[in-house]
Structure 1
Amino acid sequence: MNLLQPCRGLGSRGHSFARRPIFRPLGVVLCLLAAGLQSLPAATVVNAPYLQNLGADHVTVVWAAKENQAASVQYSTDGSFSKSVAARVVRTFSSSETDIGFTFSQYRADLTGLAPGTAYSYRVIVGGQPFAPVSDTTAYRFSTPGPGPFSFLVYGDSGDGSNRQIAVALQMVKEQPNFVLHVGDIAYQSGTFAEFSSNYFAYYFTLMRRAGFFPVAGNHEYYTQDSAPYLALSVLPDNGVPEDPGRYYSFDWGNVHFVGLDANLLDAPFPLAQARMLAWMENDLATSQAPWKIAFWHQTPYPLEHHLDDPIDTAARNLLVPILERHGVQLVLTGHEHNYTRSKALRAGVPVAQGAAGTVYITTGGGGGELHPVLDTLPAFLEYQASVNHYLRIEVAGPVLTIHSIQVDSVNPNGKEFDHLVITLPRPPVLSGVVNGASFLPSLATGELVSIFGQSLATDSQAPGFPLPLSLGGSTVTLNGTPMAITFSSPAQINAALPLDAVGTSTLRVTNSAGFAEAQVSINDSAPAIFATGITHAGGAAVSAAAPAAPGETLTIYMTGLGQVDGKLAAGQAAPSTPLLHVLAPVLVQIGTAQVSPDFAGLAPGFVGLYQVNVAVPQDLAAKTYPLQVMVKGNLSNSLNIPVQPRNP
């Protein structure tokens, strides 16, 4: 029997968004019965039980009913339901505020103290009776996150009440995921309470009661009071910013860190919330030690056609993508365009070289909405595109992540895999040397810029500005456990700044998503070294044969390794211009045989780990080329030649 046959003629075709009564989807229930599922009793159920904020030791069970009665959730690992937690009515919604037509109460029960990686059975009791009972005793069952393989589903742009949505939902409920991500546009047209009940809960209730759902708001959710119904009906991880509860969050499952964002906040009316989210996102990714990082939100940063002029898509590309790539996020999942696209591994929109680390961007907007076209010619940044209704099944097994893209339509009612991708974690880093960042010699000093060489160190990335980040390209560098600021990262090289108080034998560690590598380094109180083009005129031009130094002229020498200064700075903090920070030890500049005391020797304002020495060329120097070196505590820097022009008569 064709499982879709009972669904013919149900719902709307395309985007016909007439206001529907709350339980129009009787046909949806019949379709689910056709798939071997149990229907819900009509009595008092408004929204059947669904799992929210499922974590290693907790889960929240939410449901809604017409009556406000005493309620609880009973649960256990052995089917005895020996444990019980009282539920509370968190809110009673009047018909006037929901447009559903009657008053209903929303219940919430928080189950805590659960064991990681454990399967639980549960049942909901309202007014002394089982709520939304089913004959299948495994229907209300979930597993908490733990070590080992797991799988999850991803879909978006689903909730228009169409036959397309029914087809995708019927196939999804056959799956056995640990949890589900929804990338937004959950309930068309406007994300009202009625549309959530009829176009979301009524379609996925058999899946929502056994798999945690982690949604993010789409633009259509914002059509009603900036997504107020979405926020009221969701219980999401409470680790965002207090001013924006539920709008963005993160959670860990196994060895994966998930970051859910609200790209609607990138729109012009939300400048303060936007700034809060970006700062939170930066910190959240920087502090995560998970080897896998996956981000998801609604508006795609790489639209094909339908949303090319959407300013939020552009803002996502300009504001979100750099942060994600800087912290080594491997996979981004979005919707908004009602099709499927999978990019090549990208850095700043450009495909990376074969084998290099990059971020894969997938648009999965085929959950049920009317489809958008794809391009006749595949763009250079894409690996695959298709205008099909679909969802994703993603499996994670240690260092391997496998993405199955499942097409569902009248031709493929039981689902057909149309795209497939395997991503493998990078290897742990290998260190081959730590050297002075200017001379590339192994002499190191406190506060110095160093270059770390090796293999599989990080992805290609440049620090965006100051303060310098403590995590870049998916990697961190520490010295005896203290984070070091990073200026540049790549698979073969990381440039970072040693702490200003580091002296003696120390352990330098580089950590990426796959592991870490360590090297023992000896840090001296000084190890002066001048950068290759680091001797300049006052205007910034390098001293050269074409632009020689003049007797009496003050030159600026840019270098590193001069040691401690008369002030303290946090890691990554740029040196101030007021007050200037001076080197503590005496500094001399040697030009030929002449030794000159500099006018200034200290940290270059506005930089990290870069020292500046201002010195006047002696008036009596004859016109020729001289070796120049800087000396501190008896240690001489590398030698650079400077040409000196004849004195003016």
Structure 2
Amino acid sequence: MSEARRRGVVTAWLLLVPGLCACGPAGATASEPGVAVEHPGERVRMAVIGDYGLAGPDAEAVAELVRSWSPDLVITLGDNNYPDGRASTIDENVGQYYHSFIAPYVGRFGPGADTNRFFPSLGNHDWRTPGPWPHLDYFTLPGNERYYELQWGPLHLFAVDSDPQEPDGNTIDSEQARWLREHMSASALPWQVVYMHHPPYSSGDHGSSRGMRWPFAQWGADVVMSGHDHHYERIERDGLPYFVNGLGGNPNRYSLRRPVPGSMVRFRDAHGAMLVEATPDRLELRFVTVSGEEIDSRVITRDPVLAPVPEP
């Protein structure tokens, strides 16, 4: 975030209207990346899961952990629906565990949410069914639903589609990258979080997706999250924390390879999820196992910027 943007954060924050809900600019079409806006308060609790979409005891244990946190919203780092992103498996793999966060929910596992609080990003397994139409039909997301932005309290979240089949591209000079650069650099919210499937940096079996090494810090990001490799890792690069969070429920936990430069924490011994707690001047990101053990914690703070007080 630039210094000019930092100075404007609190002023813009004070102008936000609680309860406002919008779905992109007037005239937006289904092919445009839209924005969902929610302002439930200055303090937000968010769960982050990755590589979770395979029904079974591991996925259930992670879902129980997530529900125990009572998060305001859940975001995912892809591979929501193993093995092939089919319509016949998505409700069992996702709705069975997370229906209470999804709206509208039309599956068979219980009541859905009044307002959608579940915001997935696409993974390579979700793209194995061309389209990937089962994913797009099952979830109700902003704009083109493949990549989009979400404003929730002090968080400005950007879901990126890192798959090479993305129609708008996944390279640094793609239409999708142009959208991210323009929208993230213009954000006035305190925290910009990018989340996607393929990791720019990873010490796991798949390794780093070098094509996703976009200049996120230069464009204004505070955090970058990804999955794909089935382990947990925090890498510090370019002044940013990069997270690999792929222990959301797939029973196949991957091996760890030679640590990439900047790798600070690596873990593969148990499934778990990330808990993110945000206020306008503090962002805390933790990885917690299904047994409740905290493996890692990263805190980012900034001095609050006070709006000028009018002279009497």
TM category, shorter: 0.7 to 0.9
Indicate the RMSD between aligned Cα atoms, in angstroms. Answer: 2.6
Q: Does 1:259 align with 2:158?
A: yes
Stretches of structure 1 that go unaligned for 5 or more consecutive residues are: 1-54, 61-111, 117-143, 239-244, 348-357, 429-513, 518-649
Displacement after TM superposition at 1:288 (Å): 1.1
Amino acid at match of 1:402: E
Residue aligning to 2:223: 331
Rounded to whole Å, the distance in 1 between the matches of 2:259 and 2:203 is: 10
Q: CA, structure 1 residues 272+407, in 2 after alignment: closer, same or farther (shift >3 Å)?
A: closer
SS of alignment partner, residue 263 of structure 1: coil
Q: CA, structure 1 residues 328+197, in 2 after alignment: closer, same or farther (shift >3 Å)?
A: same
Q: Does 1:202 align with 2:96?
A: yes
Stretches of structure 2 that go unaligned for 5 or more consecutive residues are: 1-17, 24-35, 103-111
Residue aligning to 1:236: 141
Q: CA, structure 1 residues 196+271, in 2 after alignment: closer, same or farther (shift >3 Å)?
A: closer
Q: Does 1:406 align with 2:288?
A: yes
Residue aligning to 1:416: 293
Residue aligning to 2:249: 368
Q: Does 1:316 align with 2:212?
A: yes
Rounded to whole Å, the distance in 2 between the matches of 1:297 and 1:516 is: 34
Q: CA offsets, 1:149-170, max 9 Å, x none?
A: 1111000100122321111112
Rounded to whole Å, the distance in 2 between the matches of 1:332 and 1:216 is: 13
Counterpart mapping for 1:453-532 below 5 A: none
Counterpart mapping for 1:213-612 below 5 A: 213-238=118-143, 245-264=144-163, 267=164, 272-274=168-170, 275-308=174-207, 313-317=209-213, 320=214, 322=215, 324-344=216-236, 346-347=237-238, 358-369=239-250, 370-375=252-257, 378-387=259-268, 388-408=270-290, 412=291, 415-425=292-302, 427=303
Rounded to whole Å, the distance in 2 between the matches of 1:391 and 1:258 is: 18
Displacement after TM superposition at 1:516 (Å): 10
Rounded to whole Å, the distance in 1 between the matches of 2:167 and 2:130 is: 17
Residue aligning to 1:543: none
SS of alignment partner, residue 153 of structure 1: strand
8 Å Cα contact 2:287/2:297 also seen in 1: yes
Displacement after TM superposition at 1:329 (Å): 0.8
Amino acid at match of 1:315: G
Q: CA offsets, 1:492-540, max 9 Å, x none?
A: xxxxxxxxxxxxxxxxxxxxxx6899xxxxxxxxxxxxxxxxxxxxxxx
Question: Relative to total residues, which structure has the larger helix share, 1 or 2?
Answer: 2
Rounded to whole Å, the distance in 2 between the matches of 1:145 and 1:235 is: 19
Q: CA offsets, 1:429-473, max 9 Å, x none?
A: xxxxxxxxxxxxxxxxxxxxxxxxxxxxxxxxxxxxxxxxxxxxx
Amino acid at match of 1:343: I
Displacement after TM superposition at 1:58 (Å): 3.4
8 Å Cα contact 1:173/1:207 also seen in 2: no
Q: Does 1:57 align with 2:14?
A: no
SS of alignment partner, residue 295 of structure 2: strand
8 Å Cα contact 2:44/2:154 also seen in 1: no
Q: CA, structure 1 residues 231+515, in 2 after alignment: closer, same or farther (shift >3 Å)?
A: farther
Amino acid at match of 2:96: A
Structure number with greater Rg is 1
8 Å Cα contact 2:42/2:279 also seen in 1: yes
Amino acid at match of 1:406: V
Amino acid at match of 1:419: D
Residue aligning to 1:496: none
Q: TM-score, normalized by length of structure 2? A: 0.77
Displacement after TM superposition at 1:419 (Å): 1.3
Q: CA offsets, 1:381-436, max 9 Å, x none?
A: 1110100311011101221111121101xxx2xx22121121113x58xxxxxxxx
Aligned with 2:48 (options 121, 135, 154): 154
Aligned with 2:77 (options 166, 177, 183): 183
8 Å Cα contact 1:395/1:402 also seen in 2: yes
8 Å Cα contact 2:278/2:284 also seen in 1: yes
SS of alignment partner, residue 281 of structure 1: helix
Q: TM-score, normalized by length of structure 1? A: 0.38
Amino acid at match of 1:283: E
Rounded to whole Å, the distance in 2 between the matches of 1:214 and 1:197 is: 15
Rounded to whole Å, the distance in 1 between the matches of 2:86 and 2:22 is: 25
SS of alignment partner, residue 131 of structure 2: coil
Displacement after TM superposition at 1:307 (Å): 1.0
8 Å Cα contact 2:43/2:154 also seen in 1: no
Displacement after TM superposition at 1:176 (Å): 0.9
8 Å Cα contact 1:237/1:246 also seen in 2: yes
Rounded to whole Å, the distance in 2 between the matches of 1:272 and 1:250 is: 15
Displacement after TM superposition at 1:206 (Å): 3.4
SS of alignment partner, residue 200 of structure 2: coil
Higher RCO structure, 1 or 2 (CA under 8 Å, sep 6+):
2
